[in-house]
């Protein structure tokens, strides 16, 4: 199976280093992986190659990422524009396929020893598939959780393509083992997001907050809300669900930082509904600021200081478990995910959302939970990636009790 030299990169002497490729396709993953990326880059036995694709190349925050990357001296092996417009299922599926096609070329050229796959986004499964087909070792971060949306299928399918598993909690570890993975390669390292949340001590300044996004200035000296509500690809009423939340938040009449959803299937109609609501209920949005993205440390600072987080983001389940921020989680997107006491679950119902928030505000902050927390998550991952014996042929490990 020799082929012509794919690129100069393949020929580089590695000097005994392990070459690790980290495909970054989403600003959220970049944000939460900063500690990991820095430690991989600094490791004397590791040669780190970052590959960029997907939506990370499209938003303005990318400039920030590019600056970070340059400042860090990291190598970017490829930048691949492969997001297909449409904001619907077809565009999402085709984006995944095109991403896989292009990363195949990139991975073939780089020929890494390990490819890191993060989380449960649709394009990450596509890259995992490409990597597995290239007979490369795949390391997966954040497997074994259960949630709703297509993420639920994506996450477990990645698990079954991956060789090394970094899970964030014991429930997840149990599930990954039940699915037949090798116990010697399943590591509960805790969550990178929570490790970052625990380390960040950035304090929010009002001016800085209002330098992000569009809409009205928000007074963060007052108790304020954060909203992050992503589309749920397996549901058909995303637009209606968003409007339900908009109505609830309008009723609460508090300063609100509203984060724009991910560019997934369903985004187009959510964007439409946000715009529509702003036009129809201008007054109701007078205390809202709409933000696309902020640096990871500022995001943590916002989470820490918010009076309540509303929506369906994993940050509500994970980071907030440690930070103690009250959370009102809406709908099925996080369905089944291990959650601490700080989370109140509600359905798509304006009044239910409103009253749950009121109750959470009354309760105030929670004690820190450590269900997702280990102090050295990133270091634990690096240690395994640097030292574990690598393999490619998977075998189904029957749990011991069978």
User: Which residue number, 154 or 226, has a Cβ lying nearer to a second copy?
Assistant: 154
Q: How far is the CB of 250 from a second copy (least distance, A)?
A: 22
- Which residues 6+ apart lie within 8 Å of 13 measured at CB? none
User: Which residue number, 137 or 378, has a Cβ lying nearer to a second copy?
Assistant: 137
User: Which residue number, 233 or 374, has a Cβ lying nearer to a second copy?
Assistant: 233
The order of strands in the sheet holding 327-330 is: 214-215, 288-291, 256-259, 225-228, 308-311, 327-330, 343-346
User: Which residue number, 234 or 379, has a Cβ lying nearer to a second copy?
Assistant: 234
Q: How far is the CB of 5 from a second copy (least distance, A)?
A: 5
Distance between CA atoms of residues 63 and 350, nearest Å: 37
- Which residues 6+ apart lie within 8 Å of 168 measured at CB? 142, 145, 188, 189, 190, 191, 192, 194, 318, 372, 377
Q: How far is the CB of 22 from a second copy (least distance, A)?
A: 15
Q: What is the dihedral of CA 276, 281, 282, 288, to 10 degrees?
A: -90
The order of strands in the sheet holding 164-167 is: 76-80, 46-53, 18-24, 114-118, 137-141, 164-167, 186-188
238-257 CB burial, b ≥16 within 10 A, e <16: bbebbbbbbbbbbbbebbbb
- Which residues 6+ apart lie within 8 Å of 381 measured at CB? 36, 141, 166, 187, 189, 192
User: Which residue number, 77 or 325, has a Cβ lying nearer to a second copy?
Assistant: 77
114, β-bridge pairs = 20, 137
Q: How far is the CB of 184 from a second copy (least distance, A)?
A: 17
User: Which residue number, 222 or 392, has a Cβ lying nearer to a second copy?
Assistant: 392
User: Which residue number, 24 or 300, has a Cβ lying nearer to a second copy?
Assistant: 24
């Amino acid at each position: 199976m020799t082929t012509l030299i794919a690129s100069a990169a393949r020929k580089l002497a590695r000097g005994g280093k392990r070459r690790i490729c980290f495909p970054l396709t989403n600003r959220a993953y970049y944000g939460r992986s900063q500690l990991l990326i820095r430690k991989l880059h600094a490791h004397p036995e590791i040669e780190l190659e970052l590959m960029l694709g997907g939506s990370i190349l499209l938003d303005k925050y990318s400039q920030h990422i590019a600056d970070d990357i340059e400042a860090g001296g990291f190598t970017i092996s490829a930048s691949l524009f492969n997001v297909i417009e449409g904001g619907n299922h077809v565009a999402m599926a085709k984006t995944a396929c095109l991403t896989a096609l292009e990363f195949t070329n990139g991975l073939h050229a780089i020929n890494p020893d390990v490819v890191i796959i993060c989380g449960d986004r649709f394009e990450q499964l596509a890259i995992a598939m490409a990597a597995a087909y290239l007979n490369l070792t795949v390391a997966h971060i954040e497997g074994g959780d259960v949630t709703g949306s297509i993420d639920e299928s994506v996450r477990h399918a990645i698990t079954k393509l991956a060789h090394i598993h970094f899970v964030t909690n014991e429930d997840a570890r149990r599930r990954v083992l039940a699915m037949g993975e090798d116990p010697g390669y399943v590591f509960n390292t805790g969550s990178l997001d929570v490790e970052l949340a625990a380390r960040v001590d950035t304090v929010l300044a009002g001016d800085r907050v209002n330098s992000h996004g569009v809409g009205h200035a928000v007074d963060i000296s007052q108790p304020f809300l954060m909203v992050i509500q992503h589309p749920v690809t397996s549901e058909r009423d995303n637009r209606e669900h968003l409007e339900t939340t908009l109505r609830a938040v309008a009723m609460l009449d508090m300063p609100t930082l509203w984060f724009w959803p991910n560019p997934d299937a369903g985004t187009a109609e959510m964007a439409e509904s946000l715009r529509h609501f702003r036009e129809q209920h201008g007054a109701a949005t007078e205390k809202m600021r709409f933000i696309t993205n902020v640096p990871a440390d500022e995001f943590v600072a916002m989470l820490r200081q918010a009076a309540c987080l509303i929506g369906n983001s994993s940050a509500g389940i994970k980071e907030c478990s440690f930070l103690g921020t009250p959370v009102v989680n809406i709908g099925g997107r996080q369905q089944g995910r291990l959650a601490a006491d700080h989370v109140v679950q509600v359905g798509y119902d304006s009044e239910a959302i409103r009253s749950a928030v009121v109750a959470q505000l009354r309760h105030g902050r929670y004690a820190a939970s450590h269900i997702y927390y280990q102090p050295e998550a990133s270091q634990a991952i690096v240690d395994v990636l640097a030292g574990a014996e690598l393999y490619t042929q998977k075998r189904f490990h029957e749990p011991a009790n069978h």
